[in-house]
Amino acid sequence: MELQFDTSICADCATVDCLVKCQYMHFDLESARSERQKLNNGEDSPVLHNCATCYACEEYCKLGNHPFYQIVDLQEQKGIWPAPRPIVHQQVKMFSPKGDFVPREFAGVPVNLCLFPELQGRLTGRLFEGTSVFFSRDLFCNLVYLHFAKNSVIKERVPGVIQRLAACNVEELVCFHDECYALYASWAPAYGLEVPFRPVHLFKYLIDRLKENYSQVKKLGLKAAYQRPCSTRLTPAKEPLLDELLELIGVERVPREYDRENALCCGAILRMHGREELADDINKRNLDDMVRSGATACIFNCPFCYLTLGEMVAAKGLRPLLISDLCRLALGEKL
């Protein structure tokens, strides 16, 4: 059963927040309603050509009607490519399943690193004792293809991913990559795909392990800016978990302009789309905002954001840290 967009819900929406709040396209209320109606009718619209694919409209829509998924499906139906075709084809081929994953029982808590094997050595210490950390192209979440208007690739590959994990008798799966969690908690339910295990977000896992080791926690006393990943837009209900986690380890999430619902993306996908000028602009605004906030560190939940912005953040005098590394520091562990 595939998601069916209830356009009558959108027609009754008074605010059209999915478009009015967009930070990359600029619509007043009247023009937003006009373009929203075109999308409801399955018609062409500047939205399909100018969307930055940041997922934010999913969070802005309080009606649960998945406006970004609708945009992506329409882009693909109409052959509107957000990125140059050679790049799209390259991305689709680069992360295709290899077919060499053998289902097995995982000893301890399974932690999926998705496609970031280079981070495996950092999932050590008390926080990750008793876990089985794994990664494989055969278990790749594939949600990145939303950025390339290739939802069909996700639909084609993800059932196999879920079947392979189910064959491992996984009851709970800790998702190190935020986008993996979004796949199982947002995309799969939206498109009627059953997930026979419980996805556990990294924030929840880290909170539980910190509480188990709370006598060893040293308050860090850091002021940190948070770089919110695109995929957070798909599951924003987990946002309070980060605030709870940071309070546990004595880190202040500094108030700033470009955080929470007003967050800016890391710009990496925009550069793949060939939109260098826009990427440069949002990077500058975002980094300047971090500096103004008085932050001494920038914390990341998405490894891709970390790899993209880490050096830029460091050049501004802020220490770039993955959230898991931040928690390890609170336990007195060396990175």
Q: For 172, how many CA atoms within 13 A lie in the half-sphere containing its CB?
A: 11
Alpha-carbon gap, residue 42 to 19, rounded angstroms? 16
Reply yes or no on whether the pLDDT at 1 is more than 60. no
Q: What is the pLDDT of residue 10?
A: 82
At 192-216, the pLDDT tens digits run: 999 999 999 999 999 999 999 999 9
CA 142, 143, 144, 148: dihedral to nearest 10 degrees? 100
State the average pLDDT over residues 58-87: 94
204: its two tokens:
């929840």
Among 161, 331, 135, 141, smallest CA distance to 229 is for 141
Can you give the pTM of this predicted structure?
0.94
317 falls in which pLDDT band (50, 70, 90)?
very high
Is 90 exceeded by the pLDDT of residue 241?
Answer: yes
Q: What is the pLDDT of residue 249?
A: 98
Q: Which residues are CB-neighbours of 272 under 8 A, at least 6 positions away?
A: 83, 87, 91, 147
Q: Which of 312, 329, 75, 323 is nearest to 176 (CA)?
A: 323
The answer to whether 99 and 138 have CB atoms below 8 angstroms apart is yes
pLDDT at 2: 65
Ordered DSSP codes for 303-317:
HHHHHHHHHHHHHTT
> What's the rounded mean pLDDT across residues 85-107?
91
- Which string of b and e fits 248-278 if b means at least 16 CB within 10 Å? bbebbbbebebbeeebbbbbbbbbbbebeeb
Q: Which residue has the tokens 């770089």?
A: 227
Alpha carbons 239 and 59: distance in angstroms, whole number: 12
The string of pLDDT tens digits covering residues 267-276 is: 999 999 999 9
The radius of gyration of the chain's CA atoms, rounded to the nearest angstrom, is 20
Backbone angles phi, psi at 248, to 5 degrees: -60, -35
pLDDT of residue 5: 73
Q: What percent of the chain shows pLDDT beyond 70?
A: 99
Q: Which pLDDT band, with edges at 50, 70 and 90, does 11 fall under?
A: confident
Comparing CA positions, the residue from 278, 268, 335, 275 lying closest to residue 303 is 268
Q: Give tens-digit pLDDT for 145-198.
A: 999 999 999 999 999 999 999 999 999 999 999 999 999 999 999 999 999 999
Domains with residue ranges and CATH for the chain: 7-78 (no CATH), 109-205 (3.40.50), 206-330 (3.40.50)
Q: Quick one: tokens of 154?
A: 């996700």
Q: Return the minimum-mean-pLDDT range out of 117-121, 247-251, 259-263.
A: 117-121
- Report d(CA 318, CA 206) in Å as an integer: 23
Residue-wise pLDDT for 13-28, tens only, equals: 889 999 999 999 999 9
Q: What are 299's strand-pairing partners?
A: 226, 321
Question: How much is the mean pLDDT over the chain?
Answer: 94
Copy the structure tokens of residue 156: 């084609």
What's the confidence (pLDDT) of residue 14? 84
List, in order, residues 6 or more apart from 202 with CB less than 8 Å away.
174, 175, 176, 178, 181, 301, 323, 324
What percent of the chain clears pLDDT 90, i.e. is strictly above it? 88
pLDDT of residue 8: 79
